[in-house]
Amino acid sequence: MDIITAVIYIVLFIIMMVFVFSIGMLKQYMPKREVLLVLAVAFLIGSIGGAFFLEPIYEELPNMASIVERNMPNNEESLYLDLSSSVDTDSLREELSSMEGFKSFDETSISIPMWNFNQKEHDYFDSIVGNINTHYKNYNVTSDKINIELEDNFTASEALKSFSDWYKLVYGETISYAQIQAVLVVDSSQLDNFEQALLNKGIVASSVDGPIQDSINNTNSSMLSNVEFTLVCGCVGVIVALIGIYMDSVVPAYRRFKKFMNTKRKR
């Protein structure tokens, strides 16, 4: 949200509170039993104003809190990507590396979907996968998937090809699909640009780790829920209405207090 829009929303909420205050000041012209109705209306107006005008600004607080982290030198963010094997990772790496703030792009592992293994099939794959290629850093066989960690400088396409070649030799069929896990490290100040570049290719990071994300997470953990925030705004409307209702009593009391303090100072 831009600053101008935020200012407009705040001004509109203030105008609503002025209206609530004005309603409160009409207390002297209404029966006492109508005061509760005024407070109920004030709560409703405050809640509506908070939900429509202040809540969008409130939701931007995590991003605002991360501004400092975005501009700190040497801060880095790690974006964890889940890519289809149909994605040309070499082309993606080349495009990302040409952008300002690029640090590194590493393909860390692949996940090969299989069928639901029975115990015998599971044990077989669990014992044989590590022998297919020496560049498999580690691997894990689940009930329907094989996860393979890659050594440095060993690409996902090479890993998938070596597994597919072995699979064709043993089963007479090919494996043509896998999910690639990759880690993109970028300068914190350029995070938005990289996220947009990925989004343009239909890629969204499964998670982000770094100072910016830590700041956003910490802020989110301390924030009220949307319902709680709306209720607080409703309470603000009630407080403003009460100030309007008792304005005739508050102002004289304030003047007497101010006069008392001035007299005390002169002594």
Q: What is the pTM of this model?
A: 0.71
Place of tokens 């005024």: 38
Q: According to the model, what pLDDT value does residue 267 have?
A: 56
Q: According to the model, what pLDDT value does residue 65 have?
A: 74
Q: According to the model, what pLDDT value does residue 109 have?
A: 92
Whole-angstrom distance, CA of residue 150 vs CA of residue 136: 5
> Which residue numbers in the chain have pLDDT < 50?
none
User: With 0-12 CB in 10 A as exposed, 13-18 as middle and 19+ as buried, what is 188?
Assistant: buried
Q: According to the model, what pLDDT value does residue 263 have?
A: 67
Within 8 A by CB and 6+ apart from 111, the residues are: 145, 146, 147, 148, 178, 179, 181
Distances (CA, A) of 225 to 59, 60, 115, 217, 230: 10, 13, 42, 14, 9
The pair of three-digit structure tokens given for residue 67, joined into one six-digit string: 């501004």
Distances (CA, A) of 180 to 200, 206, 246, 252: 19, 12, 66, 73
Q: According to the model, what pLDDT value does residue 61 have?
A: 85
**Gyration radius from the chain CA atoms:** 31
Within 8 A by CB and 6+ apart from 91, the residues are: none
Whole-angstrom distance, CA of residue 233 vs CA of residue 187: 38
In this structure, are residues 50 and 79 in contact, taking their beta carbons and an 8 Å threshold?
A: no
pLDDT tens per residue, range 236-246:
999 999 888 88
Q: According to the model, what pLDDT value does residue 19 have?
A: 92
Whole-angstrom distance, CA of residue 262 vs CA of residue 267: 9
Axis-axis angle for helices 226-245, 247-266 (nearest 10) = 70
Within 8 A by CB and 6+ apart from 242, the residues are: 24, 39
- Collapse the DSSP code of 143 into the 3-class scheme (helix H, G, I; strand E, B; otherwise coil) and give the result: coil
The neighbour count for residue 194, using CB atoms within 10 Å, is 21
The pairing of beta strand 76-84 with beta strand 179-187: antiparallel
